[in-house]
Amino acid sequence: MAPNQELKKKPVSFSNILLGAGLNLAEVTTLGQPLEVIKTTMAANRSLSILQSAKLVWSRGGVLGFYQGLIPWAWIEASTKGAVLLFVSAEAEYQFKKIGASNFGSGIGGGIIGGLAQAYLTMGFCTCMKTVEITRSKQAAVGGVAQQTSFQVFKEIYAKEGLRGINKGVNAVAIRQCTNWGSRFGLSRLAEDVIKNLTGKNKDEKLGGLEKILASAIGGGLSAWNQPIEVIRVEMQSKTNDPNRPKNLSVAGAFKYIYQNNGIKGLYRGVAPRIGLGIWQTIFMVGFGDMARELVGKLTGETPVAKH
């Protein structure tokens, strides 16, 4: 952008908000939920390897075991958090650029604010209920006792603990999301700049589709540095039977409990599937998101919201 050129605010369109929801639904229904289930199983059962976790998940329902928590919680979460992320992060990125922040700095700022909005507006109870579904003990099919449905478990938690119970771990979710998307957007934008330098493109030139996906994959994979926050979040929300676990864990209390029982290694359980999940999510929300916004702009005649 030329020094004297005014940074113009792009109009926000309903089609772009729907686009965020659609992208996240596609992400979670494909590889997203299976990776989430394995990652959560490893974080909740920190003695298990990836293979052992996969076997445990398979024993809970075969292929369908890898989609526990998808309906309705992951779908509710995906259809709302994707829209919130693209809407809020794009607006925040614009505001940071307006005050002179770099492409990298604006990406980090936009991701942090978008991630915080996700956590407190849409993700608290969905993330909690997904973890409950993945980690709760399945009742034995004996004595004519029917397996509790997901909604029955939700009602039971709400009756016992109220809103705090179904939003358990929301502060850990907020820390995870702001560091997640601050890293993913920021590192993806940094990777884009590096790719432009390596390929001889100037700062204002667009990357090709494969280059955009590569930048997104790098940003998503490297963002798994905050895995301890994810393990803490899972521990706070987990229904895995552990008589030694203190009740009503805080973020600090969960950290202390995990470290005392499993050491530093315990805080990084599930990091491998988390890297895969981070790459998959970021390809959808940053790489495909940018490309899809451009397509929506061409089809509707509206300027894509996140192109500032």
pLDDT in tens, 90-127: 888 889 988 888 877 888 888 889 888 888 877 777 77
Pick from 270, 272, 287: which is nearest to 233 by CA? 270
Token reading at 232: 């803490």
Output the tens digit of pLDDT for each of the chain's 308 residues: 444 456 665 555 666 677 777 888 888 998 899 999 999 999 888 888 999 999 999 998 899 999 988 988 889 888 887 777 777 888 888 899 888 888 778 888 888 898 888 888 777 777 778 888 888 875 544 445 566 777 788 888 888 888 777 777 788 888 887 887 778 778 888 888 899 999 888 877 888 878 888 888 888 888 888 899 989 988 888 877 777 888 878 889 999 999 999 999 999 999 999 888 878 877 776 667 667 777 766 766 655 444 33
Pick from 26, 100, 20, 21: which is nearest to 286 by CA? 20
Place of tokens 């809103």: 163
* pLDDT, tens digit (0-9, with 9 covering 90-100), for 228-242: 998 998 888 887 777
Distance CA 305, CA 105 (A): 18
* pLDDT, tens digit (0-9, with 9 covering 90-100), for 190-218: 888 899 999 888 877 888 878 888 888 88
Distance CA 41, CA 238 (A): 10
Domains of the chain: 14-137+149-175+209-289 (1.50.40.10)
Distance CA 59, CA 95 (A): 49
* DSSP H helix total and E strand total for the chain: 13, 0
Q: How far is CA 147 from CA 74, 135, 151, in A?
A: 20, 15, 12
Q: How far is CA 83 from CA 34, 94, 121, 165, in A?
A: 22, 17, 11, 25
